[in-house]
Amino acid sequence: MHYLVTGGAGFVGSHVVLALRDAGHSVVVFDNLSTGHRAAVPPDVPLVIGNLSDQALLNTLMERERFDGVLHFAALSLVGDSMRVPFTYLRQNYLNSLQLIELCTHHAIRRFVFSSTAALFGTPEQQPIMEHATVNPGSPYGESKFLIERVLHWAETIYGMHSACLRYFNAAGSDPMGRAGEDHRPETHLIPLAIDTALGRRPALSIFGADYATTDGTCVRDYIHVTDLAHAHLMALEQIETRSVTYNVGNTTGFSNLDVIRAVERVTGRTVNWSWAGRRQGDPATLIAGSERLRRETGWIPRIAALEDIVETAFRWRLTHPDGYALPAASPMPGMDMPA
């Protein structure tokens, strides 16, 4: 099959590109490189640099490539940021996706995999969170993703497009073969920040919130290895041959922020210098996945499920890539690569 991957230069997208190629599919990546990296895209995978709002460019690309399906990752993705600039998140994520989905219907593209999020559940009473749990987003980020799920519902009802909405819990780790890793700028995620602090590349780590209703007062998250997450996309693609699906993708185990620090200390053999800070706006206390539907319907099982094993892959990548995806010396700045 031939797939378009939007946001394929980003953390999850780049790992999905690897999984698609390992499974024998061909891929074109579409990314504006605002947060993704050119070096995260394998050299023999075509990379189209552009904004999702550029309908003409996408239209030409779809006309030329005749994709069998689209996997859509390109989005603003930080819960905390979305509480600061809510309308930017709602507008950009929703409108760009709406236009992309509409364009897919024009080009009779019938398969669509969407990177959704556990953040659309808000702070549910019941953990683990099952697929049928009430949607009640706790942030504009979560809301923007839910709005897109609704667009996909109508794309199926009216145009027969099959979609998979994959509600990710906390993606972490890096490709076990070392071909890709996590490099956000600025980095805001707990595991890479804790690793860099352990390595002495950051002076200290702040832990946001000590008074949540959890066992140690810090937030609890379900960390899912990014390669397992990528494999869930392959499984979802099989399912949408015949129908649309919505899956939670997580390990069904929660770890507190202090658990993560301890795991990083064990894996790195070093101390993480951390201190308490106030709560980060928009953070739910606990997010643990109920992933039974995905397991039951597709046979998916996470292969790198233990927190320390997840941290280990992330640590190895940071060791071999101290500067992350360093820009090649001869490359111009990403913004200058935009097609005229």
The 8-class DSSP code of residue 289 comes to B
215 is a contact residue toward ligand UDP (CB under 6 A): no
State the nearest-atom distance from the C-beta of 5 to ligand UDP, in Å: 21
Nearer to ligand UDP, 9 or 288 (CB): 288
Three-state secondary-structure class, residue 270: coil
State the nearest-atom distance from the C-beta of 117 to ligand UDP, in Å: 8
Site residues for ligand UDP, window 170-189 (CB under 6 A)? Answer: 170, 188-189
Site residues for ligand UDP, window 28-47 (CB under 6 A)? Answer: none
Task: Specify burial of residue 275 (Cβ count, 10 A radius: 0-12, 13-18, 19+).
Answer: exposed
Q: By rule CB under 6 A, what count of residues binds ligand UDP?
A: 15
Q: Which residues does the annotation mark as catalytic?
A: 141
Nearer to ligand UDP, 3 or 223 (CB): 223
State the nearest-atom distance from the C-beta of 267 to ligand UDP, in Å: 16
Strand ranges in the chain using DSSP code E only, listed in sequence order: 2-6, 26-31, 47-49, 69-72, 111-117, 162-168, 170-172, 205-208, 220-221, 223-225, 245-249, 255-256, 274-277, 286-287
State the nearest-atom distance from the C-beta of 198 to ligand UDP, in Å: 13
Backbone angles phi, psi at 116, to 5 degrees: -95, -165
280 is a contact residue toward ligand UDP (CB under 6 A): yes
Nearer to ligand UDP, 244 or 291 (CB): 291
167 is a contact residue toward ligand UDP (CB under 6 A): no
Binding span for ligand UDP by CB under 6 A among 25-33, 85-93, 204-212, 265-273? 204-212
79 is a contact residue toward ligand UDP (CB under 6 A): yes
295 is a contact residue toward ligand UDP (CB under 6 A): no
200 to 195, 204, 271: CA distances (angstroms): 9, 8, 9
Nearer to ligand UDP, 170 or 298 (CB): 170
State the nearest-atom distance from the C-beta of 282 to ligand UDP, in Å: 8
State the nearest-atom distance from the C-beta of 138 to ligand UDP, in Å: 11
Distance from C-alpha of 131 to C-alpha of 293, rounded to nearest angstrom: 8
Which residues have CB under 8 Å from 158's CB, separation 6+?
none
**Of positions 58, 207, 267, 311, contacts ligand UDP by CB under 6 A:** 207
283 is a contact residue toward ligand UDP (CB under 6 A): yes
Nearer to ligand UDP, 113 or 205 (CB): 205
53 is a contact residue toward ligand UDP (CB under 6 A): no
Q: Give the torsion through C-alpha atoms of 313, 236, 17, 264, to 10 deg.
A: -20
Q: Using omega within 30 degrees of 0 as the cis cutoff, is the peptide bond preceding 302 cis?
A: no
State the nearest-atom distance from the C-beta of 188 to ligand UDP, in Å: 5
208 is a contact residue toward ligand UDP (CB under 6 A): yes
221 is a contact residue toward ligand UDP (CB under 6 A): yes
Distance from C-alpha of 167 to C-alpha of 121, rounded to nearest angstrom: 10
257 is a contact residue toward ligand UDP (CB under 6 A): yes
193 is a contact residue toward ligand UDP (CB under 6 A): yes
Which residues have CB under 8 Å from 12's CB, separation 6+?
73, 115, 168, 171, 226, 229, 230
Which residues have CB under 8 Å from 206's CB, separation 6+?
274, 275, 276, 277
253 is a contact residue toward ligand UDP (CB under 6 A): no
- Cα angle: 184, vertex 223, 261; to 5 degrees: 75
Contact set with ligand UDP (CB under 6 A): 79, 170, 188-190, 193, 205-208, 219, 221, 257, 280, 283
